[in-house]
Structures are given as structure tokens and as C-alpha cells.
Homo-oligomer: A and B are copies of this chain.
Amino acid sequence: MPQAPFVPVIPAGGAGTRLWPLSRRARPKFLLDLTGEGRSLLQGTLARLAPLADRPPIVVTGAAHEAAVREQLASHSGVRVVGEPSPRDSMPAIALAAALVEREDPTAVIGSFAADHLIGDQAAFREAVRLAREAAELGYLVTLGITPTHPATGFGYIEQSAEEESPGAGAGAGAADAGAAADAGAHALPRGVRPVARFVEKPERERAERFLTTGRFLWNAGMFVVRASVLLDELAAQIPPLARGAREIAAAHGTPEQAEVLERVWPHLTAIAIDHALAEPLAAAGRVAVVPSSFGWDDVGDFAALARQLRERPAPAGVEGSEDRGGGDVRVLGSAAVDAVSSRATVYGATDRHIALVGLDGISIVDTEDALLVLADEQAQDLSALVARLERRGLGHLR
């Protein structure tokens, strides 16, 4: 069992343009109730992680969303919300949270999980986190990798090391060194945790298919479990000013200088994703481990994913099959009254208009006060092109 205290970290950011006009710049995906369960993705994420926390979880979000986040989390006592003065990608956000945790307890392990993903099997998720914490206490950067169910081209992949290879290790070690693999015997990974060979960016279709046939590749769900001090020490070796800046902000946290230091230091932190800053170089050094997982993960990246989610789950209150005498299946999220004939569709109704559907198959409809989207689920990924040109068409206020 893990020994070190565990602190969940939840970076709450991301535009989510492929869920427009449901998600907007001012109302990003993590603030939305996309499951009809009566809570936002952020609230669901916190509900999942809070029971695992030995110290209050930390939510890091953009200054623009800080008030909305605090309001949604008002009923969670003890959650810490940290506002980023400006978006600097995921590494500075996680590094700052790690520095805050390290200051309280240098032995603590953090687990960073996106605020806007869905997880089906909660017990399996908790078990995976438990394994990851054990490996993190050995000094690894540990990720939860999702066993692929299809050759997705929208996710990055994690390649596990071939069966016989020994991983590197390095509890308490400083900068990584391939030679550290010699110590691996002393830090044998727990059963169910595997060494990582490398991270791979989103592949083309054929490459994704080859990945699946090897059995070694997992989806990169952006979940990282690591000792706070390991993260910062490794970061100090890779990008020294970033680690130094995060620790400087954390040191001032709670003091009269907090705001001044944050405003002064934050804008100079390197804007970079944790994958590039840490995961890729550490994997090359044999210092990353993965927990292969099958707990039903979805990043709800577009309307096709959302429709799939709503169809697969048992319909909770708020998601209704509408009265459809034509033998269809319509899922409704929101307050809209929907009536349908022979339709398989998903409706996100944010207005009080009556919505009528006839003969649809695999269509998503988003009905909001200022914008209406009608989309064929199988071309859901093409939405971002359309959202991108709103600005050029003088419709930036709709984003």
C-alpha cells in the first residue's frame, strides 16, 4: 500500500472548440454538465478524486474562470483553487501545484488529472491510482495508460517497453541517466505497472492500426502520478527556470507578497506541456512507468464521443429517450422539449424552444440562444475548422 500522502491536482483549462457552441471561451467544457447527472465535468472529477486525497485537492485554472470554478466547488470544503494569470500550457500549472504540495510535505505524491474527462468504472480507477502511487513512491513519473479499444487517431499513444527490458529507476535521484537502469532491481515495479519506452503523438490511421497489433501501445490520457519533489527536481534538470519559478511562487503563497510574486514570475514561466517538458525526456531515460488501465475513459473530445457516452450509459435523470414512435433513439441533454419521428440523434437544448426531429440518423443538435449547430456525428472532427473561422467572419463574440 502507498505510504506517502496523496494530493490530487486538477488542471482546469482547454478551449474545447470541438464542442462549440455548447462550450465557449467563457464557458469551457469542464464547467458543463455533459452527462445529465446534474454536475459539471469538473465537479465529477473532484467527486472522483476527493475521497483519495490526504490533503485538499488543488484546482489550477485560468483567471477568467476562477470565479466560476470557485462557485461550482463551493460545496467542497478544503479545495484549493489557484488562478493562473495567463495560460502557459500544462507544465507551469502542474509545477506550481507540485511546489505548493512540496512546501507542505516534501514526501507527498501528486496525481494530476484533467478536469474534463469521463471515467466509467470508479473502482478500477481507484485501483489504478493506488498502483501508480506505489510506483511514484519508487521515484517514477507514473502515468495511467488506457488500453485502446480502437485505432483512434485523436489521442497520443504510450509505448510500453518490450517484455524483457529492464526499466530505469531512481527514487530520490536527481537528473535522469540511462545508467541508472542498473539500480532497477532495487526498485522493481509493482505487479500491474510497466516501464514506458516512449510517448508518441497522435498517429495517422494506419500507424494507429499497427500500434494495436503489437499489444504494447496505450492511449495517453494525460494522467500523471509523481512525488512532488521528484517532479520539481526532474524539471529543474530539464528546464531550470521553470522549476525555480514555480518554487518561488509557492514560497510566497499565503504571504503578503503572494500576488506580487505571482504577477512578476508567472509570465516568464516556459509555456510547455508536461508531455514535452517531462514525460518524453524521462521516458527516454527509462524513468517513466505506466499502469495499463481499462476503466472506461473518454476525453469527450467531440460530439461523436459525447453521443457515444450518452448512448452507452444508463440514462440518468436529465437524459431522456424522447417519445419516438418510429423506433428511433433520441438522447436529450438540457431543458429542451423534444419530439421525434424515426430518429437516432442527440440534442443539447439550452433554450425553451420546442425541438422536432424527423428521420435523422447519427445527428447532433446544439440549440443555444445565439447559435445553432446541426452536425453529422461521423464528421464531428470537422467542427473545429468552422469554429476557427468564426473570427474571420466577424463572429468572434460567438466563440
Contacts and interface: CB of A to CB of B under 8 A. Distances in A.
A360 B362 CA distance: 10
Interface in A359-395: 359-361, 363, 365, 367-376, 378-380, 382-383, 385-386, 389-390, 393, 395
B373 A372 contact: no
A398 interface: yes
A358 B386 contact: yes
Given A372-B372, A374-B374, A356 B326 contact: no
A342 interface: yes
Interface string A318-362: 000001011000000000010111100100000001111111110
A386 B341 contact: yes
B339 A359 contact: no
A297 to B, nearest CB: 25
Contacts of A326: 382
B372 A353 contact: yes
A376 to B, nearest CB: 3
22 contacts: A323-B393, A339-B389, A342-B379, A345-B374, A353-B368, A353-B372, A354-B372, A354-B398, A355-B371, A355-B372, A356-B373, A356-B375, A357-B374, A358-B373, A358-B375, A358-B379, A358-B382, A359-B378, A359-B380, A360-B363, A372-B372, A374-B374
Contact of A354 (B337, B367, B371): B371
B376 A356 contact: no
A: contact size bracket: 35 or more
B376 A339 contact: no
A190 B325 CA distance: 53
A110 to B, nearest CB: 39
B372 A341 contact: no
A292 interface: no
Contacts of A345: 374
Nearest to A358: B375
A139 interface: no
A8 interface: no
